[in-house]
Each structure stands twice: as C-alpha cells, then as structure tokens.
Amino acid sequence: MPLSRFFAIAAAALLPGWLAAAGITLPAGAVAVSERATALGVYQLPTGSEAEDKVPSQRFEGQISRRTWRVEGEAAVLQILAPLREQLLADGYEVLLDCAARDCGGFGFRFGIEVVPSPDMMVDISSYHFLSAAKGGQAVSLLVSRGGGAAYLQMIHVRPPEAGPMVVKPSEQALVKALPLELAKVLEVQGHVVLRDLVFGSGSARLDEGAYASLQELAGFLKANPRDRIVLVGHTDTVGSLEQNTAISQRRAESVKQRLVEGLGADAGRIDVAGAGYLAPIASNRTAEGREVNRRVEAVLISK
C-alpha cells in the first residue's frame, strides 16, 4: 500500500490560530514531502551515540507523527538545524543528544535509528546532524542531511494521546508546492531506491497485476543508461524464520525482474536479484506500520 503524501502547508495567514501556538517554524524554502501518523505506538528516542552496534534510547509511548521536508537552497545541515534547536529550547524541551555524522556513530548510528524511507528522506552518511529532545511525556527528534542538491529534514514527534500535535509553521518565504523527486535521481544520488508502489498478494511472492509507476521509471532509467546494471533486492519483516523470509524475498525480487523484462522490455542481463529476508530493516519490526515498511523490494545501482 503506498504511503500517504501531502502538499506543503498553506500560508500562516490562512490559519491565524497557529500564530499563538508554540511549535516549530520551518526554514525558508522548506517543502512538505510526507507525513505518517500512528494513533498509539512506541518510539525509541535515541539518547546517545552508537557504540558496539547499539544506539542508546529512551522509550516514549503515545501518538507518533513522522514528517519530512525538502529544503531548497545551499544551506548547510547545521544552519538548518540550529534555529530549530533554539526553538525547542525556548519551548521548554531538554536536549538529550546533539551530534553530527561522525560523532553520532556514522553508518552505525544512521542504520540504528528510525529513518523515513527514501525518497521521502535522504541521508548522506558523511553529512547529517541529529538532535533529540524531551519535555515531560513528549519527545522530538530532528534529522537533517543533504542529497541531490537539496537538504532534507525529518521530524518525529511523540506526545501523550490527550496532547495536541506539535504545530509546524511555514517560514514567510516557504514554498507552497511539493516538488516530485524522480526515481532515477534517488538511484543515482543514494545508490538504491525503494520501489514503494509494488503490491504482492498476501503471503505470496507473485506481483499483482497493474501498471506500476516505479517499474516504468526504472525501465526508463535502464534504457537511458545502457551501461548501468541493477540488483533487485527483496526484503521482509521478521515474521517467520530467516530461511523462509530469505526465500520469499528472493522470489519477490525475481517476480519484479520478470515484470520488468517481459512487460517493459528491460534487458534481463543487466538485472540481478537477491533476497535479504529480514536482515536489513528500515523501520522497527515491533509495530505493524514498521513491518509493512520493511516488506519491500529495492533497486540497487551497481558499478558500470
């Protein structure tokens, strides 16, 4: 099931009630990309740098919102994050962790925390900044990185069920239209892309019938770049054994390759397949939402 998307927030003048509320004012040029909400869930708020393959965390339970923005312009990640940090401090939050890529733990930290899947959020392992903060029963984490000529901002907010959502106000200079990010651009910048619109039958490795935009774009990319090759990698959640999940993830990747080759004319010799089972999650398998995100097929760009 495709994840929900929304357009950028309208000008603050249209919502005067926002002006009196505490919250976050976005940087200029911020464009809303995605929003995901969990009515009641658990978020492990990172509270320390990665060490020995573990990221210290504190458990928060409540309503969870996960929002991402793309920030046009050349601003560095800290230029974007610093004003947001000051706003949280002014609103009474206590900062628990404030670190840059290497200090956070680099690769290990990035893959030890919750990150919204690309292309809604893009993270350069060598250039990101992370902050977590808490106030009473509320928690906020901010992640800023650059990729593809723009910066990306992720905010995860947890609040008690009875509390209202954190208000997010646009800058007066904020853009008012979300700009699409092409699959090819994500693949070239990040080296891999999740084919998020694919639908498989329940418990099946067979790809449902339909015209999938991601596969059409991927076939177009291969046609336009005849020297490039890709690997289709299937992924699952943690329900079942590793052996079972590895097998079904492999078969799902093979099903996608078959559709690309037979339905869209892609060159079979330039597409390999692999199954990773549940070994590379991009969300927590402790929630239904996380398990759904982890059940995916990715295209990985390999050397020419």
Q: Answer whether residue 7 is part of any domain.
A: no
Q: Is 4 inside a domain boundary?
A: no
| Shared domain check, 124 and 58 | yes
Tens digit of each residue's pLDDT (9 = 90 or more) over 33-47: 899 988 889 999 999
Position 8 pLDDT exceeds 60: no
CATH number of the domain that residue 242 is part of: 3.30.1330.60
What mean pLDDT comes out for the span 227-247?
A: 93
> Burial letters for 180-216: b for 16+ Cβ neighbours within 10 Å, e otherwise?
ebebbbbbebbeebbbbebebeeeebebeeeebebbe
| In a shared domain, residues 124 and 241 | no
pLDDT at 246 over 60: yes
Is residue 174 a part of any domain in this protein?
Answer: no
The answer to whether the beta carbons of residues 245 and 278 sit under 8 Å apart is yes
- Pair 202, 88 in one domain: no
- Cα–Cα distance for residue pair 123/73, rounded to 1 Å: 16
Residue 178 lies in a domain: no
Q: Which domain holds residue 221?
A: 183-302
Domains held by the chain: number: 2
What is the structure's pLDDT at 266?
A: 94
Q: What is the pTM of this model?
A: 0.57
Say if residue 209 is in the same domain as residue 141: no
Same domain as 187, residue 134: no
Instruction: Report yes or no on 175 lying in a domain.
Output: no
Q: Are residues 59 and 117 in the same domain?
A: yes
Q: Judge whether 181 and 70 are in contact, CB under 8 Å.
A: yes
Contacts 24+ apart (CB under 8 A), 203-210: 205/248, 205/251, 205/252, 205/254, 205/255, 206/255, 207/252, 207/255, 207/256, 207/258, 207/259
Dump pLDDT digits (tens) for 104-135. Answer: 998 899 999 999 988 888 888 888 999 999 99
CB 156: neighbour CB atoms within 10 A?
24
- Kindly state whether residue 100 falls inside one of the protein's structural domains: yes
Query: Is 146 inside any structural domain?
Result: yes
By mean pLDDT, which of 25-39, 53-67, 94-108, 254-268 is the weakest?
Answer: 25-39
Last residue of a domain, one of 146, 169, 192: 169
Task: Indicate the residue among 169, 204, 230 that finishes a domain.
Answer: 169
CA atoms within 13 A on the CB side of 137: 12
Q: Are residues 34 and 147 in the same domain?
A: yes
